Amino acid sequence: MKQSILVVNCGSSSLKLALFDENEEKLVSAIAERLNEQEAFARINGDDRIVELPARANHKQALIALVSAFREHQFMPAAPTSIGHRVVHGGEAFREAVLINNDVMEIINDCAGLAPLHNPVNLAGIKATREQFPEIPQVAVFDTAYHQTLAPHAYLYALPESYYRDWSVRRYGFHGTSHFFMANETARLLGKALATTSIISAHLGNGCSITAIKNGSSVDTSMGLTPLEGLVMGTRSGDIDPGLFDYLSSRGMQLAEVHKELNQNSGLLGISGKTNDMRTLCELADQGHEPSALAIEIFSFRLAKYVGAMMASLNHLDALVFTGGIGENSSRVRQKTAGHLKLLGFDLDADKNEHNGRHSGGRIEDASSRFPILVISTNEELVIAREAARLAASF
């Protein structure tokens, strides 16, 4: 029987589906957005005419509508042979992907306190997919799992130890699927074994994180207990002085308000006062909008500082690797970041950055650079599909 793998990615207000064949070719992809809102809508292969969602469709309704449209339009003539789900938080329970059963679902539910916007919708997606395809093996692939190899000195905060023991307060890290893909791709491109490949992987999308990968394993990462820590992001502040909470409280702000500001109104959006979108920021900066130029500077400077910090975990470095919408497309951010890292021996070639950096696998370092610098297109869906196929084979 021919294999096909359905990848399900439930975000807080969106649902993405992708179907792969056994040769890792993507057969179809779909997205439903603005779920639970009046204007909920969906597209299949970019076309919004072949699927209709009820108003205020939730994740389950969106999944049912998309799966039936896949069937009706012959995108999915037979049921998939395996299904992979992106799950944001696996706590300390999952060091790798797992076949989903009732116990696994219970643990995902238990981790919901650590990812309240994500784990409940991930579970809703799993339940809805199980109802649609009760016989098909389903696999959970966790954003946190790849970082379970961090040692205590990297994952513990300098807090009273009971916080970790009683409340599970520690650094978990996220974007693990993407960083894992980066490690594998870099090893492949450099012709090395993963087990001897050490990189610094910068995933720069709307959410941003950077990971030190030593001999194929994650050893340090910038996101922490939640995806708010670390780099400057589209709307998230990344690192701030925890003393800010007390100070803002003295100014009359409530904790919930501060939380919202740090998550939704900070980062590139907060600094520029205009947008969280790096492409638009670059255009605005070119037109002389100073806050936008400053946002790019702060973003790149923080990133450079973290590249330096990640080197503390490594014995050798095979490459600094950029990915995500910004990492793959913004030659300006890469140039500015590398500009802060000359003392560490990173040196970009401006021309290669502009031209090679447009292609996945492109090398952009100058001949004088101590380390290779690469741009790679991430493919989290493919990692999830591979894990689902691998584990389903043991079902």
CB of 34 to ligand AMP, least distance (A): 17
CA distance 21 to 15: 20
Residue window 207-236: x/- pattern of binding to ligand AMP, with contact defined by CB under 6 A: ---------------------------x--
CB of 56 to ligand AMP, least distance (A): 25
Site for ligand AMP in 277-336 (CB under 6 A): 277-279, 282, 324-326, 329-330
**In the annotation, is 241 catalytic?**
no
Radius of gyration of the chain (CA): 21
Paired tokens of 93: 């329970």
CA distance 201 to 230: 14
Does 327 count as an annotated binding residue?
A: yes
Nearer to ligand AMP, 216 or 230 (CB): 230
CB of 323 to ligand AMP, least distance (A): 8
Does 159 count as an annotated binding residue?
A: no
Nearer to ligand AMP, 65 or 281 (CB): 281
Does 253 count as an annotated binding residue?
A: no
Residue window 191-210: x/- pattern of binding to ligand AMP, with contact defined by CB under 6 A: --------------xx----
CA distance 306 to 204: 13
Nearer to ligand AMP, 36 or 275 (CB): 275
CA distance 75 to 205: 29
Q: What is residue 201's DSSP assignment? A: E
When asked if residue 377 is in the footprint of ligand AMP (CB under 6 A), the reply is no
Does 329 count as an annotated binding residue?
A: yes
Q: Are 313 and 270 in contact (CB under 8 A)?
A: no
- Residue count of the chain: 395
Does 204 count as an annotated binding residue?
A: yes
* 254 Cβ contact partners less than 8 Å away, ≥ 6 residues apart: none
CA distance 211 to 209: 7
Q: What is residue 365's DSSP assignment? A: B
Nearer to ligand AMP, 272 or 329 (CB): 329
Count CB neighbours of 116 within 10 A: 11
Nearer to ligand AMP, 324 or 372 (CB): 324
Q: Which of 110, 143, 351, 366 is catalytic?
A: 143
CB of 302 to ligand AMP, least distance (A): 15
With vertex at residue 308, the alpha carbon angle to CA 302 and CA 312, rounded to the nearest 5 degrees, is: 135
Taking every pair of Cα atoms in the chain, the longest distance, rounded to a whole number of angstroms, is 65
- List active site positions: 143
Sites of contact with ligand AMP (CB under 6 A):
205-206, 234, 277-279, 282, 324-326, 329-330
